[in-house]
Amino acid sequence: MTRAGAPRSDHASKSIADFGEQWTHFRDNPGYYGSLELFRDLLEPFFTPSDFRGVSVADIGSGTGRIVRMLAAAGAQKIVAVEPSAAMEVLRANTGDIASSIEYVHTTGDRLTYEASLDFVTSIGVLHHVPDPAPVVSSMYAALRPGGHAIVWLYGREGNRLYLALARPLRAVTTRMPHSVLLLLCRMLDVPLLVYLGLCQRWRLPLWRYLRNHLGRLTPEIRRLTIYDQLNPRWAKYYTRSEARQLLEAAGFVDVRLHHRLGYSWLITGSRK
């Protein structure tokens, strides 16, 4: 079943189109990148995959279905896959074998219409690309049953300051590049990235935990996707600890907890009263 939302603003439509182009090119989620092992790492220290057995859950910004398949592998009974972009076609193709447990919702996260009925709502790597995420977080809160949990993963400001000093000037150019040119640039940048990855295997350089424990475990194609994902989006906010906490608390979430994952990002969870 697929539902569609109302027309979107021009700014939002451009952002959605960017990700639609990204996810219709990088369609697959091989190896560690799409594994239950990575899902377990994303959830720690607050949850484990076994917490999703038999539950109903919405995933905001499902893209190619990577997190949806993780949720299914963990045993979720019902998954509401929310994706506004052209990647909906890829999402459906990548999850066709488990479609009986999925409701496909072709709209933005702020238009999720569930009311106090879901056990979990997840949003992994999405809200930092939304200029005004507050309506999305409010929609997540409204969709949860009392005692239900939101799980959000965001870019962190802490641990990324040196990286941002290098990336921001580059992004001023790459966000305006045609898709084909950016793909070529990502292949070129993959070479020095591999060199730096090798150095991080020996020394504790900036972002070494992320490179050793995550990036170094990805296939070459997904490594280049990671570069593309940093350089393509028109909007990317890196949250401080206090901003990340406030994002959930302002929507009414209680018991908000944060974990600084691999020294560069925030895992945040909160519960509905």
Domain assignment of residue 186, given as a range: 161-231
| 169 and 46 part of one domain | no
Which candidate, 62, 59, 112, 53, places its Cα nearest to that of 87?
62
Q: What is the CA radius of gyration of the chain?
A: 18
Rounded alpha-carbon distances, angstroms, from residue 14 to 11, 168, 243: 5, 20, 25
| 13 and 75 part of one domain | yes
pLDDT of 3 reads 40
What domain count does the chain have?
2
Residue whose tokens read 């999925």: 102
pLDDT of 9 reads 55
| 68 and 177 part of one domain | no
By three-state DSSP, how is residue 54 classified?
coil
| 91 and 187 part of one domain | no
| 199 and 147 part of one domain | no
pLDDT of 12 reads 66
pLDDT of 18 reads 87
| 183 and 53 part of one domain | no
| 22 and 127 part of one domain | yes
- Measured distance CA(15)–CA(9) in Å, rounded: 10
Which candidate, 243, 253, 247, 242, places its Cα nearest to that of 120?
253
**One digit per residue, pLDDT tens: the chain, 273 residues?**
334 444 455 556 777 888 999 999 999 999 999 999 999 999 999 999 999 999 999 999 999 999 999 999 999 999 999 999 999 999 999 999 999 999 999 999 999 989 889 999 999 999 999 989 999 999 999 999 999 999 999 999 999 999 999 999 999 999 999 999 999 999 999 999 999 999 999 999 999 999 999 999 999 999 999 999 999 998 899 999 999 999 999 999 999 999 999 999 999 999 999
| 60 and 141 part of one domain | yes
| 183 and 107 part of one domain | no
- Measured distance CA(218)–CA(66) in Å, rounded: 14
| 76 and 189 part of one domain | no
Burial label for 43, CB within 10 Å (0-12, 13-18, 19+), is buried
CATH number at residue 59: 3.40.50.150
pLDDT of 14 reads 76
| 15 and 128 part of one domain | yes
| 45 and 102 part of one domain | yes
